[in-house]
Structure 1
Amino acid sequence: MTHPTHTPQSRALLHELTTRADLSADGAEPIRLAENALWRLAAGIVVRIARPGQEQAAAREITVTRWLAELDFPAVRPLAINQPVHAAGRTATFWEELPPHHHGTTGDLAPLLRRLHDLPVPPTVAAALGHIDPFIRLTDRINAARHLDAPGRDLLLSRAAELRARWSALDHRTDRLVHGDAWTGNTAVTPKGHAVLLDFERTALGPPQWDLTSTAVATDTLGNLSPTAYQQYVDAYGQDVRTWEHYPLFRDIRELRLVTFAFQIADQDPDAIPEARHRLACLQDERGPRPWGWTPLG
């Protein structure tokens, strides 16, 4: 079945980008065409076309994954060409295709994060990465949301300002390498059990607890990760972030991002409107204590 966004324009963009990379788009197949488009080339190469305005993020992703490849860290490998590649206001990165695989579990993710967080980052890589900003695009999402009423918008903007102030007050001198989007969907496991990390678009310097909070929220807020699976994650990593003094702040930031994401999706898909409003009601203390049972979107 043809993907609804699999248009002549999307294939023409792919052709232009691959031509600039001295590659061929003949026989290319779409993997996923959304904000970030993924294509598989016949030569065993995956092309990732970023949404507009992500030139710097793509360059950072190539920098960090080239460095990780030098360390033989288990991560997706960038193709050894001059990249990222730019055309028509879009940016593409090119990757070695992984063998057949499936998403990992929390038990697969935790050891990868432990290794990543323990890496000493050379100054050249640190300079390219910069520090993580957990509030990126939040205000834009809130202001652009068509299904937010004025009180809801004011609440989210106020909450974002309060959380940003608390985040800024933290001591970031001990920041380390963080993945930035650390969930099981960004792990791949081959039939032989080899696990690798994917998608380094948000990788930066930051508190390692930022990565750990993502899985903790799956248990505490979403309620879609069992206590047993979470404990396996804690045992494999060696730390339960929920015992950390700043965990409530990190959890609240993650929740705010999940609420604004839901309203962004609702603007594109009316079926997501009830979920977005449910999440907002939870932040307004109208749905009782956590976990709130939020339904995954996107």
Structure 2
Amino acid sequence: MNHEYLEAIARAASAAVGLDAADLEPIKVAENAIYRLPSSAIVVRIAKPGQEAAAERELSIAGWLRDSGVPAVEPADLTTTFVIQSDHPVTFWKELPEHRDATAPEIAHALRKLHELEPAEFLTDIDPFVRLDQRIDAASTTSPEDRRWLRGHLAALRERWVDRIDGMRWGPVHGDAWEGNAVTTSEGTTLFLDLERTSIGPPEWDLTSTAIKRSSFGWIAREQYVGFAQAYGHDVETWPGFPLLRDIREMRMTCMAVQAAGRDSTRALQARLRVDSLRGRRGPRPWSGWEAMP
């Protein structure tokens, strides 16, 4: 989407809530556009049209976590933290203090605290397959045969999910607990970002995010993963239900890549590599060449 157009939305939305956007700076312009207002220490987040309910829900989750004592990004101290501007939902957040990406053990400790909460009434059950059909439909650079395979694989995963193995008691899960979605401040507080996928689900769903960084992609060493599992108190890879969650996570990452390649042909090589991995064309895990996508 046009960066100038999104910047104009950020400026207009800021003015609508009484903020001076003269010093507006981009942080990340991708599926959601994020800007900061340094003078106000506020972050402006622009979602896609049609995501109004999700944007308001994320604000509610952030407020609930704050009240529950689980550190996370917080809504800005404004009378209004949500507006619609040119059909785009726009939300306003407190800027984070100085921070770095959280380490694996830090993420584990933060997840334990989150998973121990009683779920808020407004939280709904996790949907592991949200938007995957649409992402496959948008995969215009993926061959028709590979798209058919992806649809069949998605159908098989849905059937396996229905017959899934029970593990730990379902409760609040972050839903996307990757490094980068959890940061640690200079004072040592680890907090969660990107609360869009926070739901009620199996705690193992969050643990699988770190486990596959080792077992599926070789992004981290075994020692790092062991530190994560010890910090949480459970090694999800030893649980019989792990292969299903691993396979769903890999599918989600692949569908994200094929959709991105449909918008930007420079992503086609990464998308093809991921499809080939899932289809067994690149040998057993861990697969080399998978790269994090912004």
TM-score (norm 1): 0.92
What's the counterpart of residue 43 of structure 1? 40
Deviation at 1:161, TM superposition (A): 0.7
Aligned AA (2:217): L
Residue 65 (structure 1) shift: 1.0
Q: Secondary structure at the match of 1:189?
A: strand
Q: Which residue of 1 aligns with 2:170?
A: 175
State the one-letter code of the partner of 2:133. Answer: T
After superposition, the C-alpha distances for 1:6-25 in whole angstroms (9 at most, x for unaligned) are 41x22221122123323222
Relative to structure 1, the CA distance from residue 218 to residue 173 in structure 2 (aligned partners, 3 Å threshold; closer, same or farther) is closer
Q: Whole-Å Cα distance in 1 between the matches of residues 284 and 216 of structure 2? A: 9
Structure 1 unaligned residues grouped into runs of 5+: none
CA deviations 1:199-244 (Å, max 9, x no partner) are 1011111111111111111111111111011111101111111111
1:147 aligns with 2:141: yes
Q: Tell me the percent identity.
A: 43
Q: Distance in 1 between matches of 2:268 and 2:107?
A: 31
Deviations 1:75-131 (A, max 9, x none): 11112333322121111111111111111111211100110001112xxx33x2211
TM-score computed with the length of structure 2 as normaliser: 0.93
Q: Structure 1's 207 and 252: CA in aligned 2 closer, same or farther, altered over 3 A?
A: same
Alignment of 1:1-40 (within 5 A): 5-7=2-4, 9-40=5-36
Separation of aligned partners in 2, 1:235 and 1:139: 36
Aligned residues: 290
Counterparts of 2:46 and 2:88, CA distance in 1: 7
Match of 1:290 in 2: 285
Specify the alignment match of 2:126 in structure 1: 132
The corresponding residue for 1:159 is 153
Is the 2:173–2:203 Cα contact (8 Å) retained in structure 1? yes
Q: CA RMSD in A?
A: 1.8
Aligned partners of 1:5 and 1:34 also within 8 Å: no
Aligned with 1:195 (options 190, 195, 219): 190
Match of 1:211 in 2: 206
C-alpha distance in 1, partners of 2:124/2:215?
30
Moved over 6 A (4+): none
1:227 aligned onto 2:227: no
| Corresponding residue SS for 2:216 | helix
